[in-house]
Amino acid sequence: MNFSLILHFKGGPVLLLDAQRLAALAVAQVLAGRNLNQVLQKELARHPRLTLQQRALLQDLSYGALRHYGVLRAVLDALLQKPLRDGNLRALLLVALYQLAYTHAPAHAVVDHAVRVTVQALRKTSAKGLVNAILRNFLRRREVLLGDAACASEEARYGHPQWWIDKLRRQYPCQWETILACGNQHPPMALRVNRRLGGVEGYLAELAQAGMAGHAMGQSGILLEQPVAVDRLPGFSAGQVSVQDGGAQLAAGLLDVADGMRVLDACAAPGGKTAHLLELADLDLTALDHDSGRLQKVEQNLRRLGLKARCLAGDAAAPQKWWDGRPFQRILADVPCSASGVVRRHPDIKWLRRESDITRFTAQQADILDALWRCLEQGGKLLYVTCSVFAEENHQQVAAFLQRHADAELLPLPGHAERDLQHLPNQEHDGFYYALLAKL
């Protein structure tokens, strides 16, 4: 759905102007090192009177400019006669170029609004001529500029940092281009039906009655043909369904839980996997997360679904601060990682990450695994999960763990031929890694 086009023809020039202004400020903050979701949440809190349409457009412009930042940056540099040092002005031009290159927003409105934002919001009256000239120059030379940019560098062509491209080329010599292409797409929207309240076929019928289409995916999943706002989903507020990527939905089944088990979800927020486990079995479940603010999201999700768990704020790598000493029969360790498998949902990640971050993540993952292993009973199982596609965080991490722990065994994954599973992103799901470890 192209919100730029919709807003314009609904009499929304002012809405487009506000969204462009706020998106430019958001992109500038991300390029200065801030997290996009946190920036957008702050902006939305500062502007509570924004309509749903404005909010949707703000997200579209912010995400789009960052999703295509590689080529947009190359185009902008080609249009500038000298480097532009002002971060806010540069971000405004990137957002406007995204609108002109990738949306159906009327070109004259995009240019006019960018000039007005330059003068009214950024207070850069002297730069209005520059903004107008750059955008109109792009309109005249659009195809040539985009083509030249894509040929100039791999960062522009593939929309990812060079180190990221190089790593995927080494680790996936036959698949790296497909992985990169997926990272630049809009993500699919998948649902998880609460099996305590109904089945997939019944919910598909409810969707059809509401004018929405999708198809079954896995045991409890539905892939929608078109994303929709959650308030349009039948029974969402009553806990009948949740939004959860199809790849993420594998976790609960792979952990092999049964009624009465003592289970730990060690990095629980925002709670999708926690809830799924409780939908499958009656468990004595502890949901742990180091961020008490994010832990509130777990509690909110559980309340909506009518489920209960013990929610604790604590560091999974330091169980001595929160663990009561009673071993768990099952542990889900969805550990912090590069998030390289979900980058299309978080396009800021690829520009904020540095290759050196992978070393930091692998050290943190190893600390968490070693600590949680002490909390697992003999004969128990731990499911190691990342939303990464990088081998250092996945196959190599598990291999190193097995070298350190003689009492650990890598088990076949239930329902899969592999002993560990690297799920690469595709049209239906994001990229995830799974490994099931047993304590001998």
**Any idea which residues carry the catalytic annotation?**
387
| DSSP codes, 249-298 | THHHHHTT--TT-EEEETT-TT-HHHHHHHHHS--EEEEEES-HHHHHHH
How many angstroms separate the CA atoms of 262 and 142, rounded? Answer: 60
Cβ-contact 92, 117 below 8 angstroms:
yes
H or E stretch at 408 = strand 408-411
Helices (runs of H) and strands (runs of E) counted in the chain: 18, 12
**What sign for the dihedral angle of Cα 225, 228, 234, 236?**
positive
Beta strand 376-386 pairing with 432-439: antiparallel
Provide the Cα torsion 281, 285, 291, 293; round to 10°: 70
How many angstroms separate the CA atoms of 274 and 286, rounded? Answer: 9
Cβ-contact 386, 412 below 8 angstroms:
no
Instruction: Name the nearest CA neighbour of 395 among 368, 362, 425.
Output: 362
Residues with Cβ < 8 Å from 48, sequence gap 6 or more?
Answer: none
Beta strand 241-243 pairing with 221-224: unpaired
Beta strand 408-411 pairing with 432-439: antiparallel
Cβ-contact 244, 279 below 8 angstroms:
no
Tell the burial category of 49 from Cβ atoms under 10 Å away from its Cβ (0-12, 13-18, 19+). Answer: exposed
Give the distance, in angstroms, between the CA of residue 15 and the centroid of all CA atoms in the same chain: 26
How many angstroms separate the CA atoms of 238 and 352, rounded? Answer: 37
Instruction: Name the nearest CA neighbour of 187 among 232, 146, 236, 244.
Output: 244
